[in-house]
Copies of this chain bind each other. A is one copy, B any other.
Amino acid sequence: MSGSTFNTMFRITTWGESHGKAIGVVIDGCPAGLPLAEEDIQGYLDRRKPGQSKISTPRKEEDAVEILSGTFEGLTTGTPISLIVRNMSQRSRDYSEIASYYRPGHADYTFDRKYGFRDYRGGGRSSGRETIGRVAAGAVAAKLLKELGINILAYTKAIGPIAVDMDKFNVEAIAATPTRMPDYEASEKAEKYLAGCMEKTDSAGGIIECRISGVPAGLGDPVFEKLDANLAKAVMSVGAVKAFEIGDGCKVCTANGSGNNDCFSAESGKVIKKTNHAGGILGGISDGSEIVLRAYVKPTPSIFSEQETVNKDGENVRVRIKGRHDPVIVPRAVVVVEAMAALVLADAVIGNMSSRVSYLKDFYSREQ
């Protein structure tokens, strides 16, 4: 069944395998008139690029994006925007061995069971390179949202046991640290922790937090297209994410109603919430306050320690995965979470425009 299309209005379809000729995405439903150039997208792709630090694989991936359609004289035309990134440095010989067994923690086994065989080169479609399409499309969504005053900021909240101290939150540190943490001290500790993991030929997990500001009230639809439900799907569809939270998240299970409810208050003619335990969404609809969500990311499954598994002849074997692999997925996944959040919001801002008959009457009376 088709599974590579996301969203209804600002709809994207991604394609491409780790070691195929290229990776790409088609964005269908982007409104006309958005200024868009390759630089707008390239900046996002560069943030997920490997080879940027000690804690990232030394693979060189150029990942240069090309806009193939959907813009004219620097503006989106309203028709599909096709974005492509050619795969440059993939060398199939590196991956010949993994054809012969199922890597623990990877999708090798499930792809074989589903499809009868698999493109084993670098994980094929289940590779992290698949996220290039998400990030490229997310960059366009984010640009559209910025026009409406909506901004999205994601960062690493924790790597293994090392968590950011939110009192030391420094937005510049996100881009400056290899961990994408908004806290230089925590980042240094996390780098040391990761160095320790690598010494033990092991890997680490972590937490990504994402904050969306400037969100108008009213986005999202009851009962299945709740904004938080769509954010959950978006984020949980990113490989290696095993849990998703909105607002106070898991903590609500031990809270009491009196402490968890956010009281409303009228201030200078505006209704605001005095706290934000809900994370900006009530009944699945944005309430105008900041949206806060978190993704829990598992440790990189590709580790260099010896592991038990089964080979293609059905025999139990002990293997050591070779190649170049990040000891932690989190820093490179930060921009992926940001992109997915942007895509969900882009769909929601469009979908919300028809929530009242009066909006349609206003629109079509102006148009005539």
Contact = CB atoms under 8 A, between A and B. Distances in A.
* Copies of this chain, count: 4
Interface in A87-122: 102, 104-107, 109-111, 113-119, 121
A254 to B, nearest CB: 5
Most chain B beta-carbon neighbours within 10 Å: one of A75, A126, A356: A356
Contacts of A6: 224
B205 A107 contact: no
A244 interface: yes
B286 A110 contact: yes
Given A3-B221, A32-B114, 12 more contacts: A1-B352, A4-B222, A15-B70, A102-B271, A113-B287, A226-B236, A237-B284, A248-B298, A260-B299, A261-B301, A349-B360, A353-B360
A216 B298 contact: no
A21 B231 CA distance: 33
- The number of chain A residues touching the other chain, given as a range, is 35 or more
Nearest to A245: B243
A61 interface: no
A252 to B, nearest CB: 4
A52 B266 CA distance: 39
30 contacts: A2-B9, A2-B11, A5-B11, A5-B28, A15-B82, A22-B68, A29-B354, A31-B355, A33-B356, A33-B357, A76-B357, A77-B115, A77-B119, A77-B124, A105-B260, A106-B282, A107-B222, A109-B282, A144-B357, A149-B368, A158-B253, A161-B254, A202-B257, A205-B256, A233-B233, A250-B296, A256-B299, A261-B301, A274-B308, A353-B359
Contact of A117 (B75, B80, B235): B75
B250 A250 contact: yes
B3 A260 contact: no
A149 B303 CA distance: 36
Contacts of A160: 253-254, 256
Interface in A312-326: 314-316
A15 B237 contact: no
